[in-house]
Structure formats: C-alpha cells, structure tokens
Amino acid sequence: MKRWLAVGAVVASMGCAPTPAAEVGRALFADPRLSSSAFNTVSCATCHDDGSSDAVERILAGHTLTDSVFRPSWWGGAAPSLQAAVDNCLVFFMREERIDATAPASRALYEYLLSISPTRPAPPLPMTVVENVADVPRGDPRRGERVYQAACADCHGDAFTGAGRMSALVSVVPDDSVGFAEQSGFPLTTVIVEKVRHGPFFGIGGTMPPFSVESLSDDDLGALLGYLVPLQ
C-alpha cells in the first residue's frame, strides 16, 4: 500500500497545464520505482511489450499490453479482472502491494494501458502453464545462446558469470542451480526447466516470472538447455 499512499502527494503545478495522466502512466510503466520496495529492480516494461520498443528481439514472460484493457480475461483465465491481473504482477514480481484503484499513480497507470488499448473488445490471449515439469531434450547451443540473450540476459546478465545482471539478487545461470540439483537428485536441466516454467510458484519462491508455453516454446527452452548445460 505504501506506494499507492506515497504518490498521493501530488506536487502542485500552478502556472502550467497539468500533465495528461496517461503520460505519467507511461513513465510509471517503465520505472521500477513504481514499486516502493528497495529490493525491486524490474518495471512493467521488463516483462511486457507496450508497442513502444522497436522490434528488438526479446522474448518476454508477459504478453503484450497493447489492447490489454478490453480483453475478457487475463492470465489465461486465472485473473477475474484487469486490476487483478496487474495485482498479480505487483505482488509476485515487484514486491509491491495490490493496487489502490483510486490512487493517482494507479489511475495514471490505468490511463496509460487504456491509451494503448484501442481495440474493444479484444480477444483473450492464451497462457498454457506447464504444471508437471519434465525434462526437455537439449537442442542447438547456438540457437540457445540467442534465446538466452532474448529471454534471460536482461535480468541475469551474461550466462555462467552473471556479468551485468540486474542486481545481486538475480542468480548466476546455471551455476547457482547446481547445488539444488545435487541436493534434490534431479538433473540440472530439469531444475532449470522447473524455474523457467514455474517462476516463484509451486513452492519455489522468489520473484522471477514464469514463462508459459506461448511465451517460450519447448523448442526454444531445449535450445537454451543445450547452451547452458552442454553435453560433455
């Protein structure tokens, strides 16, 4: 709730026209400080396209938010409202509390989402969750490196070293998973598949987003494993 309270304190701006709320919302969308947690380093833009980035090749965990407002359902049907859909992201990925719908910052964010949602009604987007994790066959390591750059490097920095990662809370991939793999008796590849498919859910914890089958195919995931855990 802190964030939604703090931003209630609006600076008076006598002598000039007020800023359109959607414009403030656009800035909030790309600003990790939307979360009041000192440990948060991600913004909505880390995981969602809003139509503003020039087709850089990125594989994002979340769907595009272009036309997100007038979908009939979100999170593959698991969120009953747009607000609940965003609440999930704030609570599970950004260490923030649920939205206060009437707070100025949240209204600004809403008006931004509205401004990029011209289609009404818009079709729902599918989200297939891999509930039961199984190993995925390893694919081409060169393709895997490209997948890593597009899907993981923004947060994790370079593979094997973590150079340039978003914060010290982000693990070094795959090295930081070796211990758990040994302890659990599962292959390292399965441990990586589990984290990628389940994120913080199913008892894992943390704030990394899960990748659905639509956001990252099993083929891409297999290639990634070929790169991260090469066959000896």
Partner 1 sequence: MLPPRRVIVLGWAGCVAGLGACFDPDHLPAMAFDVVATEAWQDGATRPTPAVAGEVRLVVTNNLDDTVSVVSWNALQRGGDGAEVARFPVGLVPLEREGPHHVDVDDDGRFAFVGISNFVPAGGSGPHGLHGTGSADGRVLRVDLDTQQTVAAVRVDKNPGDVRLSPNGTTIAVTHFDLLKVADAAANDVFVGADVDARIAFLDPITMQRQRLLPVCPAPHGMAFGNDGRLLVTSCLSDEAAIVDVAAALAGSDAATLVRRVTLLDAPGTAQHPNCSPYAVTMTADDSTAWISCYASGDLVAVDTATATRGRTLALPGLAVFGDVSDAGDRLAIATQDTDGIVVFDVTGPGELALISFFSLSADICPLPHTVRFLDDDDALAVVCEGNKRDPGAVVALDADSGAVLGRVVVGRFPDDIAVQVKP
CA 71 to chain centre: 19
Instruction: Please count the residues of this chain forming the interface with partner 1, following the rule CB under 8 A.
Output: 75
Q: Is 74 helix (H, G, I), strand (E, B) or coil?
A: strand
CA 35 to chain centre: 14
Of the ranges 3-11, 16-24, 56-64, 133-141, which one interacts with ligand HEC (CB under 6 A)? 56-64
Helix or strand holding residue 222 (H, E): helix 218-228
Kindly list the distances between the CA atom of residue 57 and the CA atoms of 25, 53, 64, 151, 182, in Å, as whole numbers in the listed order: 25, 10, 14, 9, 34
Task: Say whether residue 86 binds ligand HEC (CB under 6 A).
Answer: yes
Output 9 or 153, the one with its CB closest to ligand HEC. Answer: 153
Output 128 or 231, the one with its CB closest to ligand HEC. Answer: 128
Choose from ligand HEC, partner 1, none: what does 222 bind? Cβ within 5-8 Å by kind: none
Nearest distance from C-beta of residue 203 to ligand HEC, angstroms: 12
Query: Is 112 within 8 Å of 19 (Cβ atoms)?
Result: no
Q: Is 79 helix (H, G, I), strand (E, B) or coil?
A: strand
Q: Which of 131, 133, 127 is nearest to 88 (CA)?
A: 127
Query: Is 97 within 8 Å of 91 (Cβ atoms)?
Result: yes
Nearest distance from C-beta of residue 92 to partner 1, angstroms: 8
Question: CA–CA separation, 43 vs 27, rounded Å?
Answer: 10
For the chain, the straight-line distance linking the first and the last C-alpha, in angstroms and rounded, comes to 50
Query: Is 147 within 8 Å of 220 (Cβ atoms)?
Result: yes
Question: CA–CA separation, 54 vs 203, rounded Å?
Answer: 36
Choose from partner 1, ligand HEC, none: what does 186 bind? Cβ within 5-8 Å by kind: partner 1
Task: Say whether residue 82 binds partner 1 (CB under 8 A).
Answer: yes
Of the ranges 3-11, 55-63, 152-160, 166-174, which one interacts with partner 1 (CB under 8 A)? 3-11
Question: CA–CA separation, 10 vs 202, rounded Å?
Answer: 40
Among 7, 21, 24, 42, binds ligand HEC (CB under 6 A): 42
Output 78 or 163, the one with its CB closest to partner 1. Answer: 78
Task: Say whether residue 180 binds ligand HEC (CB under 6 A).
Answer: yes
Show the binding pattern over residues 148-187: x = contacts partner 1 (CB under 8 A), - = does not: --------------------------------xx--x-x-
**Interface ranges with ligand HEC (CB under 6 A):** 34, 42, 44, 46-48, 61-63, 65, 68, 71, 74-75, 82, 85-86, 89-90, 93-94, 109, 125, 127, 151-152, 154-156, 169-171, 173-174, 176-177, 180, 192, 195-196, 200, 206-212, 216, 224
